[in-house]
Amino acid sequence: MEKAQLVFVPSPGIGHLVSAVEVAKLLLTRQHQLSITVLILNHSFFDSKIHNYVESQRASSSPISNRLGFIDLPKDETEIFNLSSFIERQKPHVKEAVLKIIQSESGVESAQLAGFVIDMFCTSMIDVANEFGVSSYIFYTSGAAFLGFMLYVQKIHDEEKFDPIEFKDSNTELLVPSLVNPFPSGVMPSALLSGEWLPPLLDSTRRFGEAKGIIVNTFLELESHAIESLKMSAVYPVGPILDVGSDGRNTHREIMQWLDDQPPSSVVFLCFGSHGSFDEDQVKEIAYALEHSGQRFLWSLRRPPPPGLQASPSDYEDPQQVLPEGFLDRTVGIGKVMGWAPQVAVLAHPAIGGFVSHCGWNSILESIWFGVPIATWPMYAEQQFNAFEMVMELGLAVEIKMDYRKHSGVIVNCDEIEGGINCLMKHDSKQRKKVKEMSEKSRMALMEGGSSCSWLESLIKDVMNNLA
Ligand SMILES: *[C@@H]1O[C@H](CO)[C@@H](O)[C@H](O)[C@H]1NC(C)=O
Ligand SMILES: *[C@@H]1O[C@H](CO)[C@@H](O)[C@H](O)[C@H]1NC(C)=O
């Protein structure tokens, strides 16, 4: 059999990059005639964690690492970040990198270029794949229901001048093919209400139809209705694709030891994603809720970046400056407040019984994998949509809020938070039972003969057929 080569162009957000690399590894493990090169786009807008992540991947020596390469593209020095024009400017760099790959493969055992795997935000890279005369596959790092939602919104935007911003205040509902329930206007995801993000999202979505396939980080048993609704396109649900290899024992020994001492499923974990943070008033409401509820807790509390800066939250030197006076003393032994948290290691711990989450898609997949129910508190991007899907469509989460938005000025009061947390931590809730069942299904999906494993096989077959 001939050797084949794929080029991956992930969006340089750390969450997107890590799942793309994990998909690459799955493909390489199952097809030994395949090699993959991942192109790393570079702009200071993106997370500094990316560099360390890529270096750690380069340094790893697994049986597949000699078939997995990384190429750094030159840093883009424009000051203001604009996704569409950034991707546009990367095209010549991508082309040059791929030319080099092809030329260096000109030996007897040369690997032929079999296609591009392009992040959901970078679909204009299809132009470069076309120049090389090869197929494009999209890698979709959110769920199938949101993919269906975007395809629907793009259609009614183009055909009926649908405007998400007007719709948000209309107090009506949308009938979306990828959803069982009507979608309420108030839950319109933040990404679609932003004049900055809506146009590039629509542009990207318009080109999905040009791809030979769409690889989605989900699994059939989780989103069967949504996947079924997409059956006109070549959709490959190959998830859940997670990076669960990391362990918090080394970096967060004290926290992990504290968890060791807590009863099973007794601790509620609060964590709001890499861009999640609250103003002081909201922090205090969360603190009152936790204290009142009497539940054991582990709270990842982050400091917002200075106003106006496109920066990520950081850790407080002393969280007491934003917490209610005496809070830490009164909750000693019951709860812990920390900065950045090793989320996967925490969710994997048997002491964790519930997760107050911003509902980023990767976080949702992680909580399902470890069988931990969620209480929803979306912040940005498509998270409001994900919260709706988890609560209303799938019954896997309880609601604190589905329509919260970062920077909206809205404050969720302590009673509402406490109610959500108490509901989340009930031992016999139907959500807990359901999430345990879904956890087993998520693991089965990836096993030999499981749904995702079979989809991965058909994807590999499709890729290898490109050479024929
Ligand atoms: C981006 O480029 C800068 C400057 O060349 C470099 O220091 C940094 O490590 C690069 N980042 C990534 C993620 O490659
Ligand atoms: C980003 O760039 C695109 C294309 O270059 C342009 O049409 C758009 O207006 C820009 N967006 C913003 C928010 O400046």
DSSP string, 161-210: ---HHHHHTS--EE--TT-SSPEEGGG--GGGG-TTTHHHHHHHHHTGGG
- pTM of the entire structure? 0.96
Q: Is the CB of 84 under 6 A from ligand 2?
A: yes
Rounded to the nearest 5 degrees, what angle is found at the Cα of 216, between the Cα atoms of 214 and 221?
Answer: 125
Residue with tokens 């690889």: 215
Q: Is the CB of 75 under 6 A from ligand 1?
A: yes
**Distant-in-sequence, close-in-space partners of 385: CB < 8 Å, separation ≥ 6:** 145, 146, 149, 187, 189
CA 346 to ligand 1 centroid distance, Å: 30
- Closest ligand to C-alpha of residue 45 is 1
Q: Which atom of ligand 1 is nearest to the CA of 46?
A: 13
Cα 43 to its chain centre, rounded Å, is 20
Per-residue pLDDT of the chain (468 residues; tens, 9 = 90+): 789 999 999 997 888 999 999 999 999 999 999 999 999 999 887 777 899 999 999 998 888 999 999 999 999 988 888 889 999 999 999 999 999 998 886 554 578 999 999 999 999 999 999 999 999 999 999 999 999 999 999 999 999 999 999 999 899 999 999 999 999 999 999 999 998 899 999 999 999 999 999 999 999 999 999 999 997 679 999 999 998 776 677 789 999 999 999 999 999 999 999 889 999 999 999 999 999 999 999 999 999 998 876 678 999 999 999 999 999 999 999 999 999 999 999 999 999 999 999 999 999 999 999 999 999 999 999 999 999 999 999 999 999 999 999 989 999 999 999 999 999 999 999 999 999 999 999 999 999 999 999 999 999 999 999 997
Active-site pick, 93, 119, 349, 403: 119
Q: Which residue's alpha carbon is nearest to atom 6 within ligand 1?
A: 75
Q: Tell me which residue of 301, 427, 286, 273 sits closest to 353, measured CA to CA.
A: 427
CB atoms within 10 A of CB 352: 23
Q: Which domains does the chain have, with CATH numbers?
A: 3-241+445-465 (3.40.50.2000), 253-427 (3.40.50.2000)
The two most distant CA atoms of the chain are separated, in Å, by 72
Q: Tell me which residue of 138, 366, 349 sits closest to 243, measured CA to CA.
A: 366
Q: Which residue's alpha carbon is nearest to atom 4 within ligand 1?
A: 75
- Closest ligand to C-alpha of residue 202 is 2
- Look at residue 296 in the predicted model and tell me its pLDDT: 98
DSSP 3-state assignment of 117? Answer: strand
Q: Tell me which residue of 459, 445, 443 sits closest to 30, measured CA to CA.
A: 459
CA 205 to ligand 2 centroid distance, Å: 16
Q: Is the CB of 72 under 6 A from ligand 1?
A: yes
- 430-446 and 451-465 are packed helices; what angle lies between their axes, rounded to 10 degrees? 40
Residue pair 467/112 in contact by the 8 Å Cβ criterion: yes
Q: Tell me which residue of 231, 192, 191 sits closest to 214, measured CA to CA.
A: 231
Q: Is the CB of 96 under 6 A from ligand 2?
A: no
Cis peptide before 240 (omega within 30 of 0): yes
CA distance 302 to 314: 6
Q: Which atom of ligand 1 is nearest to the CA of 54?
A: 13
**Distant-in-sequence, close-in-space partners of 409: CB < 8 Å, separation ≥ 6:** none
**Ligand 1, from 75, 78, 90: best to mutate by most atoms within 8 Å of Cβ?**
75
3-state secondary structure 25-38: HHHHHHCCCEEEEE
Nearest-Å Rg of the Cα atoms of the chain is 22
Q: Which atom of ligand 1 is nearest to the CA of 51?
A: 13
- Closest ligand to C-alpha of residue 85 is 2
Q: Has 349 been annotated as catalytic?
A: no
* N- to C-terminal Cα separation, the chain: 10
CA 41 to ligand 1 centroid distance, Å: 9
Q: Which residue's alpha carbon is nearest to atom 1 within ligand 2?
A: 82
Q: Is the CB of 40 under 6 A from ligand 1?
A: yes
Segment (H or E) for 157: helix 144-160
CA distance 267 to 112: 52
CA distance 33 to 109: 10
CA distance 209 to 217: 18
Q: Is the CB of 51 under 6 A from ligand 1?
A: yes
Q: Tell me which residue of 416, 267, 422, 425 sits closest to 334, measured CA to CA.
A: 267
Q: Tell me which residue of 442, 366, 433 sits closest to 396, measured CA to CA.
A: 433
Q: Is the CB of 101 under 6 A from ligand 1?
A: no
- Closest ligand to C-alpha of residue 75 is 1
Q: Is the CB of 130 under 6 A from ligand 2?
A: no
- Look at residue 106 in the predicted model and tell me its pLDDT: 57
Q: Is the CB of 85 under 6 A from ligand 2?
A: yes
Q: Has 358 been annotated as catalytic?
A: no
